[in-house]
Structures are given as structure tokens and as C-alpha cells.
Structure 1
């Protein structure tokens, strides 16, 4: 399974499956998986992850974009240009 970080708005779009960290789970880092309904962060980059609303209404910051959720199935490339294997 290929994963990408969720720091860049350009990588996130409605319909993608993502892992988010809810505000209440920031201390523990517990992740919640869901499908993006709306992107809430307007800036192109956020170091803690782009804030999104999932289809079930939960809001949190994206910590990982999960491959196999409709996006390109090619190799993910991190910010340094290296492939994520």
C-alpha cells in the first residue's frame, strides 16, 4: 500500500481515502480512516496536515493519503523526490 503525507493541498481531493488525526486525538496520535468530503484548509501547505471533513462529518488533519482509493496507482513520490516503497 502506497502512502503520501497530507501536508500539500494539491495532493488531496474529495473522494480520496485518508488517515486523519482528530483534534481530540492529537496527544495520542490515534488515526481515523475515512473518505474526504471537503477540504477545509485554504493554504497550499500546512506542516501539520491539511484539514478536511470526512463523509461521516468528522474533521481532522490528514496524516496519510491511502493508495487504492481512486487516485493514480503509480508510485508515490515524497517531497524530496524519492519514491515511497
Structure 2
């Protein structure tokens, strides 16, 4: 899953996000979803989330458990 649909992203999932500072390079950061920040049901660049370590970015990939 690519993280563009809000219904696919739930707290506790392991995801790869791209931080705002890393958007040009595409460097991914892995973590556990704490909060979902995007209100709309979809977003073309990925649903914005806050990880348990406080980092905020858009979901690029969802890892199966």
C-alpha cells in the first residue's frame, strides 16, 4: 500500500514517511504511526502522520505486520 488513502493508515502501523526536509531527495524515515494529521480521505502525496518519535511526514509505504 502506498499511503494515499486515509482508511489504510491507522495508529500503530509501521510506515515509511518522507519528511518535509527530505522531499527533494526522497529519503524515507521508518516509524510507527501515532497520529493521523490529514483530514481528507485521500491525498496524492501521501497521508500526513506524526510518528511515535514526534517526526511528521507523508506516508510513502505501509509495511505489513
TM-score by length of 1: 0.76
Q: More strand by proportion, 1 or 2?
A: 2
| 1:18 matched to 2:15 | yes
5+ long unaligned stretches in structure 1: 69-85
> Paired residues, what number?
65
Alignment of 1:36-51 (within 5 A): 36-51=33-48
Task: State the structure with more CA Rg.
Answer: 1
Residue 60 (structure 1) shift = 0.1
| 1:57 matched to 2:54 | yes
| 1:7 matched to 2:24 | no
Q: CA RMSD in A?
A: 0.3
By relative contact order (CA 8 Å, sep 6+), the higher-ranking structure is: 2
TM-score by length of 2: 0.99
